[in-house]
Amino acid sequence: MLILIRKGKKKSIELSNKVNLNSALEGYQYNLGDLEEVSKHNSFKWKRPEHMEPKGEMDLIRVKSLLEREINECKDILFEIKNGEGILYKTTMTVNDLGKIDVYQYVYFLCQHAKRHII
């Protein structure tokens, strides 16, 4: 997921040089309620692709270290698009039929996804 967030950040920054960001921000609406469903176990039906199937090969210390690095990377990404640029680029999210979500929503989705596995 971070690969798509990185790509979205880059595209958002590029788009911010081509469009009026203030105009885009005026009409912005988010769907955080829909994204919160991702954190709840069995809250929707979705068959994950085989390459996303957890293998259970990583020990807890390694998982914790990886999560810390990913959290810090998300913080860095959010800092780089702190002026609202993240709304300019959207990615299709098939999970729970979310449709198009922007970079900020994708970061929130990632957090909710992690929460689902932690709790």
Q: What angle do CA 59, 60, 61 make, to 5 degrees?
A: 95
Residue 18 has which token pair?
């081509």
Identify any residues that bridge with 93 across adjacent strands, giving them in sequence order: 99
DSSP element (H, E) containing 53: none
Average pLDDT in the 60-77 region? 91
Domain boundaries, the chain: 2-118
- Among 36, 58, 2, residue whose Cα is nearest residue 109: 36
Percent pLDDT > 70 in the chain is 88
Q: Structure pTM?
A: 0.85
pLDDT digits (tens, 9 = 90+) for 16-68: 999 999 999 998 988 788 888 777 766 666 676 676 677 778 888 888 898 88
